[in-house]
Structure 1
Amino acid sequence: MSVSKAAETAANKTVYRVEGFTCANCAAKFEHNVKQLPGVCDAKVNFGAAKITVYGDATIAELEQAGAFENLKVTPDTPARAAEQAEREIAKEPFYKRHGTLLSALLLLAFGYLFRFVNGEENLLAILLFAASIVIGGYSLFAVGLRNLLRLEFDMKTLMTVAIIGAALIGEWAEGAVVVILFAISEALERFSMDRARQSIRALMSVAPKEALVRRNGQEVVVPVEDVVVGDIMIVKPGQKIAMDGVVVSGSSSVNQAAITGESVPVSKTVDDEVFAGTLNQEGLLEVKVTKLVADTTIAKLIQLVEEAQGERAPAQAFVDKFAKYYTPLIMVVAALVAVVPPLFFNGDWGRWMYLGLSVLVVGCPCALVISTPLSIVSAIGNAARHGVLVKGGVYLEEVGALQAIAFDKTGTLTKGVPVVTDYRVFRPETNANELFAIIASLESRSQHPLASAILRKAEEDSISYSDVVVDDFASLTGKGIKGTVNGTTYYIGSPQLFAELRHAGLSPEQAQQIQSLQNEGKTVMVVGTQTENLALLAVADEVRESSQDVIRKLHQLGIKKTIMLTGDNEGTAQAIGKQVGLSDVRGELLPQEKLDFIKQLRTDYGNAAMVGDGVNDAPALAAATVGIAMGGAGTDTALETADVVLLGDDLTKLPFLIKLSRKTLRIIKQNIAFALAVKLIALLLVIPGWLTLWIAILSDMGATLLVAFNGMRLMSVKE
């Protein structure tokens, strides 16, 4: 369900964690009960993340009363509480403590069969042991089932309660006890499989430290992360995890960011570089200025978004929810007809057909069907997050698998987004290339042009000192270049057109040919010279990512019909890069509105189309695409908030993995739904020859639940 806008704006919004959910139906019932509370405007349960969002005012006692039918425990959702709960879940109580009731019921059942074997079928003590097994093992089931029956609410617990009471009434005490125990085992396995699927997010919660070493008033003190404020200086020693998001103010080190971005290779960090909570400082001592509170860190934001995503219903799940709504009452009607029609109209045996009717009730229990989709979605989204891909909901997970066309922005997506000097050629052999480059760098250090940084970076890489070069009469020639005087000689750096204006001769044919060749490769060319001669040329380009060509090739292998680059860059540069990476189409010199129009056309032509961009400049196109995919969302709130999918590590290679994971998720969901329904149908067909028993009914239901759960959990192991 979607929370109404009125409720969202008019009421307080509070998020709570919930312990004790056994199934999706129980979660739905809890949501319904909370909505009935006096001070609550609306509520939304996230079964995948085991959370509830309450719009309005309700105490924890009231919420726990609403979940009393399942003995639910409710706690406020804070980072500290979340981490504590994660640790509790990871280190649970011993098996016998958690399942003592089930073990007791199983023991009573075993003794019942032993007494019946020794003393015969109608042994009173055996019947009492079976009855005790039913009461002890099914107490919580009956408490809910009977209440539902009185309210005419039909869910799986209602079905099971009616079936077990019916079995006792017709004297099938042993089979009633077996059904109770097998149903309890089925619920325990369902809970276990959901816990396993949530584990990847719980592991993330416990990644960030609970305390930080900060410098205050000249003293280094250890404080809880909740007490750290923006602006604090945090000390991170080698081998320690970084507790808060911040910027390095002193020191350098390599940091393992796998917990956030999925990158396996550590990243070098030095002054002014951003670091994230939960990442591991490997080598040097770092002093970090804290930039975000604990609740706002990248990892906290990531956990929140992933949990919200796991709660979003995918189209397949919406179908299952709608189907289950009509399915359960239908099963009740079918079971009643099986029990009543043959004895009334065909002279059948009442005892035999009542038994078959009860078996139909049991086999109709929709456990496998209900768990089939949410378990798969939770497993897949958790796996994606572990690999550095944030998928914002089941609907996007499904849509990624159906993509036919993908559009890419150029800068920062297919390219690195950082200009570099690719060519430096002096025209005369006797020219000292390093001395000339020092003059070029000194001039560019005074420039505001975006490409100047590339020249200065190359000077640093090649250890060319330029700070001692004295420049006089520096001037910027708007739209053309720069000039300045060094040792009495005036140097010019700018476009080829600048030199055509300076001198009638301009460029020689050979120089013009070199420039044309470099421009055809998608590079920006600058000429260096004086009033009388051309001395050198520089070519600067935004380097193509090493992975881009391989990613595009893999996408075509996966059956993506069209890969297109949409960029505002000039057509020549766009075509050169498109050819280099192997795109099927390239469009250059586009305005944002034109990019938007192209995305709309792609959706018309191909049905499902994605846009991959930086999440800021490409916002309109990202919003118009079937799926908007943002690059490099780690630490970028805009990308995390606006895109449907975020590649956290700025890593394009995650895109083929995401498509593969999405398609496998779709296959498994379809398999699970088909299998769950097929098992029910086959078991129901056994009614015709009269072969269906309570044993077969509950085993078929439990078997289907188990297989569906394990099939869905396979999505946690999908690799790149």
Structure 2
Amino acid sequence: MKEFILGLEGLNCAGCASKIEKLTNEIDGVDNATLDFVTKKLRVEVVEEDRTTGIIEEIKNIVKRLEPGVNVVEEITSVQYNHHHEHGDLDKRDIMKILISGILFAIPWLSKLDGIPRFTIYLAAYVIIGSEIIIKAIKNLFAKQPFDENFLMTVATLGAFAIGEYPEGVAVMLFYQIGEFFQGLAVNHSRKSISSLIDIRPDYANLEKDGEIIIVSPKEVHVGDRIIVKPGEKVPLDGIVIEGKSTVDTSNITGEPVPKEINIGDRVLSGFINNEGLIKVEVEKQFKDSTVSKILDLVENAASRKAPTENFITKFARYYTPVVVFIALAIGIIPSVLLGYNISDWAYRAFVFLVISCPCALVISIPLGFFGGIGAASKVGILVKGGNYLEGLNEVDTIVFDKTGTITKGIFKVTTIDSYNGVTEEEVLELAALGESFSNHPIGKSIVEAYEKEIDKTRIDNYREIPGKGIEAEIDGNMVFVGNKKLFEDQNIKITEKASIGTTVYVGKNGVHIGTIEVSDELKEGVIEDIRSIKSEGVKRTIMLSGDKEETAKKVSKIVDIDEVYGNLLPQDKVKILEEIIKETRGKVAFVGDGVNDAPVLARADIGIAMGALGSDAAIEASNIVIMTDEIGKIAKGIRIAKNTKKIVVQNIVFALGVKLIVLVLGAFGIATMWEAVFADVGVSIIAILNSVRALKI
């Protein structure tokens, strides 16, 4: 399976976008295709890689047939906003068409012309403003894709001419074109507003090379290179500060406005803005692996994961237009042919139906609403990987938390050391530190830090890490075990248990328990208020899963007011318990975690939320939402953004369908004219699109 991305520059018709997506999915060899109208990106998964070139050519032919003016660009890796000719950016020729047609339209009305001169002028105005739409309609008809706005406007306006309603035929086409222009302006405004929210891509890097500073693209910088970041500049790549000190604005990445102090040895992330001093940074990651690239990739690719509401509207639009067209046909034919009513009157009503039948308001505004919500979330440090997950947040009624690194800081310190069987506390700490010297676990690192001496790793043989239990190693020829109670039970070593609110690490040597080390963790600041805030957003049930002993986990859950708690869990135990929680929960279940061990649980949850700033790459990869600041309080903010987005989307659906339905009924009874029909089509679209922009507000 291979995926490729095509950029469709100049794609302005939402209905055509839907058709291109549908026809691409029908190509032999295509497993799945998703076209996002907002970003103009077509993602295609193919079954056989060697067929990619042929499939791309087929797609180009489809696009050429449906939208000849659209340019298909291969291997697009990011959202492109600077197209040569966007919808709404009319050139001089387009403006002249509208002006000339408008003047011609006014002449018969002002001079009160009649007969052939009147018809001739109206026809000239109609050809000038409508010829391009008529040509497109004919092409689509031959392409067996007739039901789009071009076809509907062509039939409706030609019909108006056929029954002698020349002014309305011209007016509908003229105001449709003007309305399309303003609709395009609204769409572009929305796109630009969203793009400005994620405009964190650095333009250049000051590379230090052979004693000189040269300005290069961030993509040309390699790991180990040294770059200079001047005051006011964006940090272009992730790295470690090796010279200088300053404060940085991290709001682009974390959403937090408070400046952060940085000194030699501190890590800076791409996208940070240097406020004050000159700093030199040693690059740790290439641009494609940097934080800013990951964020842009997550946000830009989010559009390919459509929300259920988006999928519903796409399917709805496919049936809505043909149904209305056939109803219009019935209105135009049945009363006049079968019942003897005036054919002109009922044909006019049918043409009103045709003008209203384009679902552009929904097809454009709903994706814009979700993309705006995703952009708003990214601005405050919440990266949502798709509209489906943003919409899913509305349905979360149970949140399951990991403890370490999520509820607590994950910064451990050795607080007490007990020794047994004639061994000193210093010896217990030394053996534990040697045993944990290869470990990346926060508890192991805290023991190594407490030892404060250089570790001679040549003393260690046969090192083995046992997930969820601890360490087994041969040290100076002695078999040493460092870990929890389960590890010692597996080895049949009796231990002297100790009650503690911290994490208890037992140390054994040659089958004997020789000591116990207590390591304490701290609650994150504001976590109690954060849990309260999450519950206020409608989350009915909170649960905590922990690998720590039951007593410690219960103590923490009581302090922060979490409803249920499970302790002494291995990674596989967490997955099993989460599956049971999902089965007994009516709404969606979210899991919040940060460690490598949390990746399986994050992947299994309905919505996996990773603590991204300090979290592991595995956890971020497995999750659906990433919190860049490790603050669980951002979850409540994310739910609020999701609710606001959903509210706006529902408003657009109710408003668009409501107005169209009312005008359809009025049109059927002969009350609504084509003027109301144009408003129900283009006017409603513009209002719905402008309403979608409100999703950007946080």
Q: TM-score range by the shorter chain?
A: 0.7 to 0.9
Give the whole-Å Cα distance in 2 for the aligned partners of 1:323 and 1:93: 30
Give the whole-Å Cα distance in 1 for the aligned partners of 2:235 and 2:213: 16
Deviation at 1:609, TM superposition (A): 0.8
Distance 1:377 1:452, change over 3 A: closer
Distance 1:641 1:198, change over 3 A: farther
Distance 1:123 1:78, change over 3 A: same
Give the whole-Å Cα distance in 1 for the aligned partners of 2:177 and 2:219: 41
The corresponding residue for 1:429 is none
Distance 1:140 1:548, change over 3 A: farther
SS of the aligned residue for 1:590 comes to coil
Deviation at 1:255, TM superposition (A): 2.2
Partner of residue 556 from structure 1, selected from 520, 535, 548 = 535
Deviation at 1:379, TM superposition (A): 1.1
The corresponding residue for 2:568 is 589
Deviation at 1:70, TM superposition (A): 4.7
Contact preservation (8 Å) 1:127, 1:173: yes
Matched, 1:710 2:690: yes
Contact preservation (8 Å) 1:261, 1:634: no
Give the whole-Å Cα distance in 1 for the aligned partners of 2:405 and 2:676: 59
**Could you tell me the percent identity over the aligned residues?**
35
The corresponding residue for 2:526 is 547
- More deviation in 49-58 or 618-627? 49-58
Give the whole-Å Cα distance in 2 for the aligned partners of 1:447 and 1:202: 50
Distance 1:415 1:634, change over 3 A: closer
1:76-475 superposed matches below 5 A = 76-77=74-75, 85-86=80-81, 88=82, 98=90, 100-101=92-93, 103-120=95-112, 122=114, 124-153=116-145, 154-199=147-192, 202-203=195-196, 206-420=199-413, 448=436
Give the whole-Å Cα distance in 2 for the aligned partners of 1:276 and 1:138: 53
Q: Which runs of 5+ in 2 are unaligned?
A: 47-51, 418-424, 455-469, 472-482, 485-495, 507-515
SS of the aligned residue for 1:415 comes to coil
The corresponding residue for 2:467 is none
Distance 1:311 1:95, change over 3 A: closer
Distance 1:581 1:152, change over 3 A: same
Contact preservation (8 Å) 2:12, 2:86: no
Partner of residue 69 from structure 2, selected from 60, 68, 71 = 71
Partner of residue 53 from structure 2, selected from 29, 47, 57 = 57
Give the whole-Å Cα distance in 1 for the aligned partners of 2:589 and 2:26: 42
Partner of residue 11 from structure 2, selected from 21, 27, 37 = 21
Give the whole-Å Cα distance in 2 for the aligned partners of 1:38 and 1:525: 59
Give the whole-Å Cα distance in 2 for the aligned partners of 1:446 and 1:591: 24
Distance 1:276 1:189, change over 3 A: farther
Q: Which runs of 5+ in 1 are unaligned?
A: 425-436, 460-465, 469-478, 481-493, 496-506, 527-536
Give the whole-Å Cα distance in 1 for the aligned partners of 2:93 and 2:116: 23
Contact preservation (8 Å) 1:146, 1:161: no
State the AA in 2 paired with 1:148: N
Contact preservation (8 Å) 1:64, 1:71: no
Give the whole-Å Cα distance in 1 for the aligned partners of 2:614 and 2:71: 33
Distance 1:551 1:170, change over 3 A: same
Partner of residue 38 from structure 2, selected from 35, 48, 51 = 48
Deviation at 1:416, TM superposition (A): 1.1
Contact preservation (8 Å) 2:599, 2:618: no
SS of the aligned residue for 2:411 comes to strand
SS of the aligned residue for 2:620 comes to helix
The corresponding residue for 2:465 is none
State the AA in 1 paired with 2:9: E
Contact preservation (8 Å) 2:528, 2:560: yes
Deviation at 1:194, TM superposition (A): 3.5
Give the whole-Å Cα distance in 2 for the aligned partners of 1:420 and 1:604: 38
Distance 1:334 1:78, change over 3 A: closer
The corresponding residue for 2:659 is 679
State the AA in 2 paired with 1:49: T
Contact preservation (8 Å) 1:669, 1:712: yes
The corresponding residue for 2:513 is none
The corresponding residue for 2:458 is none
The corresponding residue for 1:599 is 578
Deviation at 1:404, TM superposition (A): 0.9
State the AA in 2 paired with 1:337: A
SS of the aligned residue for 1:380 comes to helix
The corresponding residue for 2:593 is 613
Distance 1:654 1:131, change over 3 A: farther
- More deviation in 210-219 or 351-360? 210-219
- More deviation in 356-365 or 686-695? 686-695
Matched, 1:646 2:626: yes
Deviation at 1:333, TM superposition (A): 0.9
TM-score (norm 2): 0.81
Deviation at 1:641, TM superposition (A): 2.2
The corresponding residue for 1:533 is none
Partner of residue 565 from structure 1, selected from 544, 547, 557 = 544
